[in-house]
Amino acid sequence: MTDTTASLAPENARAGRRPDGPNAGIVAIIALVLSIATVALPAIAAGMAYPSPSTPSGDIARYFTDHSFSATLTGFLAFGASVPLGIYAATTYARLLRLGIRVPGPNISFYGGVAASVMLGASGLVIWAVSQAAAEVPAAVVRLAADAAFALGGFGFAAGAGLLIAGIAVPALILRLTPRWLAWTGLVLAAAGEISFLGMVWPGLDYLLPIVRFVGLAWLAVVGFLLPRNRHEVPKRAN
């Protein structure tokens, strides 16, 4: 009996020290800072904002030709922002499972986070690629690549981020893992993320994209700090 108890003690100690992964709140803040830098730094370097889809093809091609460094920086930072987002999705997925949540929410959240990360990363890579060859290809090709990058980093990212947020917000609301107002805010952001794809046919809804991206990342950061790390913390928050 003594030998058995002694052999189990190190195992139990290891279980108690099980790594929780990187701090989800800090990871989300990194993604948010890089996302803000994606918009701000290239605009400062170029003296103008990155062209929108409504910009004429000639002006888009001219931007990539005359401001290739700014476009390269945009692609670089967008790709960089995608990496911590994927880490966040994996970290929160593991934490939700550790909390004993066995409904589809964690899986939906993980799928949405990976999708958002891949979409944003692909957008950054497309922008980087076209910035390297804009002077050597027709304006129509540059326009096509720029529109594809916008679709990936805009509609694609927002839809994925909406699922990521929804998969966390629903269990958080039902089980009171976070303050109720925060969970409800997440549900609103998730709905905005899923509705935003309608901007593909109704451009007036494009305003939802920056809301989902920046406010959504800020929401993920707050939740990353407040979400309980284990089931022992849940009753304290529920009372």
Residue 167's alpha-carbon distances to 30, 79, 111, 141, 232, in angstroms, are 21, 24, 9, 38, 21
- 114 near 32, Cβ under 8 Å? no
Measured between alpha carbons, how far is 43 from 52 in angstroms, rounded to an integer? 13
Mean pLDDT of 192-200: 94
Give the confidence band of 171 by pLDDT, cuts at 50, 70, 90: very high
Burial of 216 (0-12, 13-18, 19+ CB in 10 A): buried
pLDDT at res. 19: 57
Q: What does pTM read for this prediction?
A: 0.86
DSSP single-letter state for residue 49? P
What is the per-residue pLDDT across 37-89, written as a single tens digit (0 to 9) for each? 999 999 999 999 999 888 999 999 999 999 999 999 999 999 999 999 999 99
* Matching residue, tokens 């939740």: 223
Cα 28 to its chain centre, rounded Å, is 8
Q: How many CB atoms lie within 10 A of CB 239?
A: 6
User: CA 172, CA 182: separation in Å to the nearest integer?
Assistant: 9
Contacts from 67-70 at CB under 8 Å and sequence distance 24+? Answer: 67/42, 68/131, 68/132, 68/134, 68/135, 69/45, 70/42, 70/43, 70/45, 70/46
Predicted pLDDT at 102: 82
- Which of the four pLDDT bands, split at 50, 70 and 90, describes residue 18? low
Query: In this structure, which amino acid lies at residue 15?
Result: A
Specify the pLDDT at position 228.
87
Distance in angstroms (rounded) separating the CA atoms of residues 184 and 214: 17
